[in-house]
Amino acid sequence: MFKGRLTFDCGDHEEVFEAGDAFCLGPGHIPIGSEPGTEYLQFSPADEVQIVSETIMRNAQAMQEPGVAADA
C-alpha cells in the first residue's frame, strides 16, 4: 500500500490495510471500502486474475440489468 486504506470482507472477519502494509489475500475476499486517493500495487497470477476479471465483468453487467443476481 502506497497511501490510503483498504478494507476487505474475508467471510468470518474483516482485513484492513493501510499505507506501508504489504498483504496477500486468498480466494473469497470482497472489497468493502477504500479511502479516496488510495494507491496500491497488485500482483496476481495471470491464470487466476483472468478468472477474477471475467467474474467482475459478469457481475458488473448483471448489476446493470434489473432482476439479475450476480455470481459469487
Residue 45 pLDDT exceeds 60: yes
What separation in angstroms does the CA of 26 have from each of 29, 36, 37? Answer: 7, 24, 24
pLDDT tens-place string over residues 9-39: 999 999 999 999 999 988 888 888 899 999 9
This prediction has a pTM of: 0.65
Residue ranges per domain, the chain?
1-41, 44-72
